[in-house]
Amino acid sequence: MNDTAGQPSPARAAALPTRFTELVGIEYPIVQTGMGWVSGPSLTAATSNAGGLGILASATMTYDELVAAIAKTKSLTDKPFGVNIRADATDAPQRIDLLIREQVKVASFALAPKQDLIAKLKDHGVVVVPSIGAAKHAVKVASWGADAVIVQGGEGGGHTGPVATTLLLPSVLDGLSDNGFDMPVVAAGGFFDGRGLAAALAYGAAGVAMGTRFLLTSDSAVPDSVKQQYLGRGLTDTVVSRKVDGMPHRVLRTPLIEALESGNAVTALVAAARNANEFKQLTGMRWTAMLRDGRAMRRSGERTWQQIIMAGNTPMLLRAGLVEGNTDAGVLASGQVVGMIEDLPSCNDLVQTIMSQAHERLKALGALG
């Protein structure tokens, strides 16, 4: 079954309060991650209206586009939502001022912002939620004043580490506790149903975050032809590649990815530089800003110059696949969970189904106790 259109919607599930739902003011402990080119106003608002937390992806937007996207989202929902920001972006302070001015509830980050930016957001009532991939990073952002963290295991799509969620999640929870920090932890990587939510709660998490599962909804703006590509894949049809932008990136196996994995490094670098230039023109980013960001990454030891150049490759390849529907020339980011997804429900139906399943599992577990 590839679509749920015409089927009756599930009954409204009971709320499930956790420390995270109370922190951000939502009904259910479910987060839709900020996926570039995917998490626009419609998907974000649909998730928030369903009782979860929708997050706008702003890294692929110009500042003016973000202004318009926030306004559009606010016109579609009166529920809390978040905006994902690149902390290393040159205009990050300007975007943070925008979130404060527009009273956006949550600021999420793939890279942790500086302590002064965290303090500024918190002083204005914005909840700060960085994404992290190791216990030591969780401890660091906790010491800087972050309100919560999203921890993504190796099963997740996009940039990810090698450690599975089932091991990374408890290591983060233990790391925070051992260092005297008590903050809500949201688990990401491999979640798609109520069983997973119940399992995450059993570990001690305060919720789950999902990307691929929300990409594959009827509210997602990804072309239907691309969604069908995802629905036809199995659990072994993704690969973690470093050939896209020099960093580990989980994507669907496609002829392009196979070619990148086996192709000439110089040819790939030239193509990456060309795509980086296109991304610069698309977003209005200046070359001086890109070089300034690059120098900052080099000083921190985060990336080589080759990786920095290749980093401009990712947005354009994702755009080709997820926006233009060109699966031959584009890259399709995906979690391993793609092999477990068979339908395209609305965000509301998805959230209600997950919550009903979670309540059933928690009730059954309670009976065992």
* pLDDT tens for each residue of 69-100: 999 999 999 999 999 999 988 899 999 999 99
User: What is the H or E stretch that residue 19 is in?
Assistant: helix 19-24
For residue 10, the model assigns a pLDDT of 81
Q: Which two tokens stand for residue 199?
A: 């399992």
The residue written with tokens 């002064």 in the block is 116
How far apart, in whole angstroms, are the C-alpha atoms of residue 238 and residue 158? 11
pLDDT in tens, 180-212: 999 999 999 999 999 999 999 999 999 999 999
For the entire predicted model, the pTM comes to: 0.88
User: Which has the closest alpha carbon to 44: 265, 221, 170, 167?
Assistant: 221
Q: Which two tokens stand for residue 43?
A: 């998907």
* Percent of the chain topping pLDDT 90: 69
How far apart, in whole angstroms, are the C-alpha atoms of residue 369 and residue 294? 54
Measured CA to CA in angstroms, residue 107 lies from 171, 201, 338 at distances of: 24, 23, 27
Q: Across all residues in the chain, what is the average pLDDT? A: 88
Handedness of CA 363, 364, 366, 367 (dihedral sign): positive
Query: Where in the chain are the domains?
Result: 19-221+341-368, 234-333
For residue 305, the model assigns a pLDDT of 55
User: Which has the closest alpha carbon to 29: 203, 182, 157, 186?
Assistant: 186
Handedness of CA 279, 282, 288, 292 (dihedral sign): negative
Q: Is the pLDDT of residue 27 over 90?
A: yes
Question: By the 8 A CB rule, do 250 and 235 touch?
Answer: no
- Spell 20-36 as b/e; 16+ CB within 10 A means b: bbebbebbbbbbbbbbb
Question: By the 8 A CB rule, do 40 and 221 touch?
Answer: yes
Q: Is the pLDDT of residue 1 over 50?
A: no
Helices (H) and strands (E) in the chain, counts: 16, 11
Q: Strand 53-57 vs strand 81-85: parallel, antiparallel, or unpaired?
A: parallel
SS3 of residue 341 by DSSP: coil
19-221+341-368, what's its fold?
TIM Barrel (3.20.20)
